[in-house]
Structure 1
Amino acid sequence: MTLRVSIVSDSTGETAESMLHAALAQFDGLDVTIERHRSVREVAQVHGIASDFYQRGGHLIVSTLVKSDVLAALVADTKKYNLGYVSMMGPLVEEICRLTGRQPMQRPGVNRRVDGDYLRRVKAIEFTLRCDDGQSPELMTAADIVLFGVSRAGKTPLSIWLALKGYAVSNVPLLPGVAPDPRIWNVSVEKRVGLLISAERLREIRCERIVAMGLDPQRAAYADIDKIRAELDDARSLMEKLQCRVYDSTDHSYEELARNILEDLKML
């Protein structure tokens, strides 16, 4: 199944998309398509978006709308078309109202401060998605962090967490029997980070992925425990040669790993 998500925002939609990617990072191997509707500030716009999304087989609408009439129209339409719906702003705004007794301005776009930090995060996310899983190796040396690891060790979700903090990440897959791009040796040593995981946990993750593809994990070398152990040994050996700072994703959340990496690299 491909989960189809539509972001509806009265501003750029960057906030919702960043949070969405952070949430999706918790689901390994999930197939997702994301579309974004910016500057949605009229009820008529909402009706058109919801109707079209329903007709195209959409599943979930995520919004950061604040104008009450536009928001109410979107909620009504998601119920009408039986679409999933999450408001990234509504519950937080309501709780602040309850605690302070004050009412929100309902002014679209006020959360978008185009300052240096905001632009840095946007650029970091764009860079990281472009350099995911070995893509755009020519940009590797321009990254703030270069992340090495075997398939399904958690490189992509960890990269996204780091990008949300404003750091551009290139993640490089270490594949059995395949020499890594020689440009890895041009990356500054202080930028090199290795990600390991226990063989048993990696096998579980890979088996889940194989089953999701409709295949038998018992017949796949990709999930063979002995081959996985050998693959991890090779990865560990290369990380030592690269002088990587090495982290283990077995029992740690991606948020925790990201914080530890940034603290060790003195980037926080």
Structure 2
Amino acid sequence: MTTQNTVIYVISDALGETAEFVSRAAAAQFLGVKTRIRRVPYVRDELHLEDIMEEAVAERAILVYTLVLKELRDYLEKKAIEKGLRTVDILGPLIGALASQTGLEPTHIPNIIHRLDEQYFRKVEAVEFAVKYDDGKDPRGVLYADVVLIGVSRTSKTPLSMYLAHKGLKAANIPLVPEVNPPEELFNISPRKVIGLTLRPELLNSIRTERLKTLGLRAGSDYANLDRIMHELEYGRSVMKRVGCPVIDATGKAVEETASIVLELLFKEDRNE
């Protein structure tokens, strides 16, 4: 089967993340098509649009756009017809439907969702927090976190911290190592905001073995030794018991699934307060 090449220009008066996501989802439906997506953010005037469309003509690109200003949408559509370009308006029809349904006029303010959505700024702050206090870099983060994840190495603490950060939660994580005492801060906070993570020894052994291969190290290292892993897990359970926190066995669970359990535990405690 011959592979076809297609180019999509994602044009937006903001970041264009939504339009790019939709474009990638649509392109994924065509296995015989190699699609290149070019995102063009912060387009605010006709001159900028004209330059983009000249380039799009040369590549016979499809124009996918999220433009709030009706004047820009109309201009783009007019020029696209003149130049023989296909277009997909992602925002316009929905804005029109909402205006018709509510009887209200839209604000026509570009990027307004990021200006007004406090959750967006909280998410950014939470991601920065997760990076700063990842892997026990600074134990003081435990005192300011919304949730603290503890567990031995490779129990998905970092991916889970980042996923929770995108939900707006400030997550710190602390690795549990038998030779290193946990930070005292861990025992000075409410155990209700601490979550222990564990995995079955065999799976952890497999994950660590693959990790060593990735790093170019020999698989016989203590890091991937099953007896050592059993010892670490036992130590981890003892710390979790001392903290008095709930423990999640993440074996066979996707990060999203583990995160939903964490959120359920946290919100359950909030409701009980």
With the shorter chain as reference, the TM-score category is 0.5 to 0.7
Structure 1 counterpart of 2:155, which letter? Answer: A
Q: 2:55 matched to which residue of 1?
A: none
Q: For 2:226, give the aligned amino acid.
A: I
SS of 1:265's partner is helix
- Is 1:187 aligned to residue 189 of structure 2? yes
| Displacement over 6 Å in runs of 4+ | 43-46
Counterpart of 2:131? 129
Structure 1, unaligned runs of 5 or more: 1-7, 20-36, 47-63, 70-89, 101-105
* d(CA) in 1 for partners of 2:152, 2:135: 10
Query: Judging changes above 3 Å, is the alpha-carbon distance between structure 1 residues 220 and 115 closer, same or farther for their aligned structure 2 residues?
Result: same
Q: Measure, in 2, the Cα distance between the counterparts of 1:124 and 1:262.
A: 15
Deviation per residue, 1:150-207 (Å, 9 max, x gap)? 1111001111111111110110011231112122111212111100011111111111
Query: Which entry has the higher C-alpha Rg, 1 or 2?
Result: 2
Percent of aligned pairs sharing the same letter: 36
Bigger RCO of structures 1 and 2 (CA < 8 A, at least 6 apart): 1
TM-score of the two chains, using structure 1 as the length reference: 0.62
State the match for 2:8 in structure 1.
none
Instruction: Kindly state the Cα deviation for residue 109 of structure 1 after the two structures are TM-superposed.
Output: 2.5
Q: Which residue in the other structure is 1:220 paired with?
A: 221
TM-score by length of 2: 0.61
Partner of 2:180: 178
Name the stretch that deviates more: 116-125 or 253-262: 116-125
Query: Alignment length, in residue pairs?
Result: 198
Cα distance in 1 for residues equivalent to 2:196 and 2:88: 38
The CA distance in 1 between the partners of 2:125 and 2:208, in whole Å, is 31
Q: Secondary structure at the match of 2:239?
A: helix
Provide the residue aligned with 1:117 in structure 2: 119
Match of 1:254 in 2: 255
Runs of at least 5 residues in structure 2 that lack an aligned partner in the other structure? 1-10, 22-38, 53-63, 68-72, 77-86, 98-107
Q: Do the aligned residues in 2 keep the contact of 1:65 with 1:108 (CA within 8 Å)?
A: no
Tell me how far apart the structure 2 counterparts of residues 155 and 167 of structure 1 sit (CA, whole Å). Answer: 14
Match of 1:236 in 2: 237
Q: Aligned in 2, Cα 1:247/1:110: closer, same or farther, shift over 3 Å? A: same
Map 1:1-268 onto structure 2 (within 5 A). 11=14, 40-41=42-43, 42=48, 66=66, 93=90, 109-217=111-219, 219-266=220-267
Counterpart-to-counterpart distance in 2, 1:92 and 1:243: 53
Question: RMSD between aligned alpha carbons?
Answer: 3.7
Cα pair 2:13 2:111 within 8 Å, conserved:
yes
1:167 counterpart letter in structure 2: L
Q: Distance in 1 between matches of 2:216 and 2:12?
A: 36
Counterpart contact for 1:194–1:245, Cα < 8 Å? yes
Letter in 1 for 2:238: S
Return closer, same or farther for 1:146/1:40 CA change in 2, 3 Å cut-off.
same
CA distance in 1, matches of 2:222, 2:88: 47
Answer yes or no: is the 8 Å Cα contact 1:147–1:169 preserved in 2: yes
Distance 2:247 2:40 in 1: 40
CA distance in 2, matches of 1:181, 1:145: 15
The 8 Å contact of residues 151 and 196 in structure 2, kept in 1 or not, is answered as: yes
CA distance in structure 1 between the partners assigned to 2:129 and 2:89 by the alignment: 30
